[in-house]
A and B are shown apart, each in its own frame.
Chain A
Amino acid sequence: MWSRLVWLGLRAPLGGQGFTSKADPQGSGRITAAVIEHLERLALVDFGSREAVTRLEKAIAFADRLRAVDTDGVEPMESVLEDRCLYLRSDNVVEGNCADELLQNSHRVVEEYFVAPPGNISLPKLDEQEPFPHS
């Protein structure tokens, strides 16, 4: 990947673009409480402290530096595996039949079924939570 960046850097003068950074409409990366709440619901992670949020902001700023590269007309690379062959397996039954082993991992089991909560348990709203109980 680094060689690609270098190649693009060399290419830039021809394109007349140079290292333009695409303007970030959000300005500096301050994450709002609403975004944190949204992220917590989506990923079920707990940003327990102010430090955690700051760390997130720094991580985003770090990644933002990628915008400095001019990628006009370049096909995005989705995977470093893109030149690899996707292995195709024959349609034979070779696995399964290990219910006992798998059920051992479960906290609760009822007659060979995994037991889960009934679902639909919503996270409490932001104002209902304690602010940063872990700081």
Chain B
Amino acid sequence: MAAPMLRWGCRGRRWAFARVDGGSCHRRGAPTGSTSNRIRGESSVAQQPLHTAQKTRKGEHKWAAVVGLEIHAQISSNSKLFSGSQVRFSAPPNSLVSFFDASLPGTLPVLNRRCVEAAVMTGLALNCHINKKSLFDRKHYFYADLPAGYQITQQRLPIAVNGSLIYGVCAGKKQSQVIPKTVRIKQIQLEQDSGKSLHDNLRSQTLIDLNRAGVGLLEVVLEPDMSCGEEAATAVRELQLILQALGTSQANMAEGQLRVDANISVHHPGEPLGVRTEVKNLNSIRFLAKAIDYEIQRQINELENGGEILNETRSFHHKLGCTMSMRDKEGKQDYRFMPEPNLPPLVLYDATSLPAGADPQQVINIDQIRETLPELPSVTREKLVQQYGMLLEHSFTLLNEVGLLEFFQNVIKETRAEPKKVTSWVLNTFLGYLKQQNLAVSESPVTPSALAELLDLLDSRTISSSAAKQVMDVKNRNPRAINKLIGLVRKATQSRADPVMIKEILEKKLSL
């Protein structure tokens, strides 16, 4: 055979998304008609009337949306999936790269035990069947941040299959009821992360940092059992909480430790499923819900106007609030899957099949991992309801807000007040203030001890409820409350004291 010559100038599956043409995507509410012009490579989006998928127009059938998710979670481990280089969020470019990660010839993959354990833990927590034998494959595509030209993944026989994730959606009047919903988990597989590309469009080049190349990922595939953005967002949030409780992933979306792609289609109930699109670049739970709802609406509008949906990949642009086509001119990618020839099958054991006299470092016992699983969020919530007599909805809120559960538990520890009182104050007054000032729990000026003290005073009837609320106001630096206090001091000093000095002294005394 003639010596194969590598062509320079590769293109891969993913696009260098440089900039967005402002003209091709209208903002919501702009008064345009609902035509769609197919500009090369992009599709312009017309104004989207804000109605939900279920609402009917006169004479039209109802629409049902179907949403599936592919979630990639970075495994929390010291070293990478197949090499001993470090896993760390920020470091000098290419400093956390081994010869294998750079795909130098002669290097071989060596599987990280911790990553396998993380996959088993996650599979068990999600009620999956753990495959005692799983296989590794190569998925080929060309892109500069994938030095080997393929990704090692588990396409044929992944480590875990057929699980379920239960999440709670808020419904009812005042959104106070929690309705449990289930989404089936198709599979969980181990795979490699790719490096990072920085696109320098000015100089027409891409800068590659391989620090992330080879980091272990858990791909969790959720079946299309969800029907709207809110359900998807809630499911992802619950998965985040589970991964964080297990310690298998920090699952921080902002830092790229949790990435979600959505598969969306619409159809009339009773008819076959419609053509689906894939939406990528969803960087937060909030954008995830927005993007999905937008795409559902876009598809409905397109079909109602006699258009058709293309099986394509779209990217969500949060500033414009719309999805845009990332359409590849080459058509569907052929990944040429093949077994990874350098890795034997991954064999896991349980208590009954564990070979006698085996090196404990070289075997993984599923039963042992099951016994040592940390407490899952659903159990934590149940305990809160049992122990403190709170409503299930309250337990959801406590867990959903980062740091709130810990805050709550610290207050409980230090106060004499009744748990129900604490619950009410933390969830209504305290959380209310945080939301108003747009603060995280960690940024709160009120400490658990301070709140505990306040509640003690309230409990012993030393102060009244309204007085307590006023103290919270001051502690939360509500300017009106502080001014009111300054006014009271001025009155007491018969207007002889300088207000600026009063403010300084008060602030010191209150340690604001």
Contact = CB atoms under 8 A, between A and B. Distances in A.
Contacts of B110: 87, 89
5 contacts: A79-B344, A94-B79, A99-B94, A117-B10, A119-B199
B151 to A, nearest CB: 15
Contacts of B99: 95, 98, 102
Interface of A: 40-49, 51-52, 55-56, 59, 78-79, 81-99, 102-103, 105, 108, 110-123, 134
Report which residue of A91, A96, A108 has the largest number of chain B beta carbons within 10 angstroms of its beta carbon: A96
Contact of B97 (A59, A102, A117): A102
B369 to A, nearest CB: 14
Contact of A93 (B1, B15, B84): B84
A86 B111 contact: yes
B97 A46 contact: no
A48 B5 contact: yes
Interface of B: 1-2, 4-12, 14-16, 77-79, 83-86, 92-100, 102, 104, 110-116, 135, 140, 142-144, 197-199, 201, 204-210, 329-330, 334, 336, 339, 341, 343-347, 361-362, 364
B6 A95 contact: no
Contacts of A88: 111-113, 116, 361-362, 364
A31 B104 CA distance: 34
Contacts of A81: 341, 343-344
Given A88-B362, A96-B86, 18 more contacts: A46-B2, A46-B5, A52-B1, A81-B341, A81-B343, A86-B345, A87-B111, A88-B112, A90-B113, A95-B85, A98-B97, A99-B95, A110-B205, A113-B207, A119-B143, A119-B197, A120-B16, A122-B329
A88 B111 CA distance: 5
A91 B79 contact: yes
A96 B4 CA distance: 33
A105 B16 CA distance: 24
Given A78-B135, A86-B111, A118 B204 contact: yes
B142 A44 contact: yes
A49 B2 contact: yes
Contacts of A118: 16, 199, 201, 204-206
Nearest to A47: B2
Contacts of B6: 44-46
B339 A91 contact: no
Given A44-B6, A92-B78, A85 B339 contact: no
Contacts of B362: 85, 87-88
Given A94-B84, A117-B9, A112 B208 contact: no
A130 B270 CA distance: 53
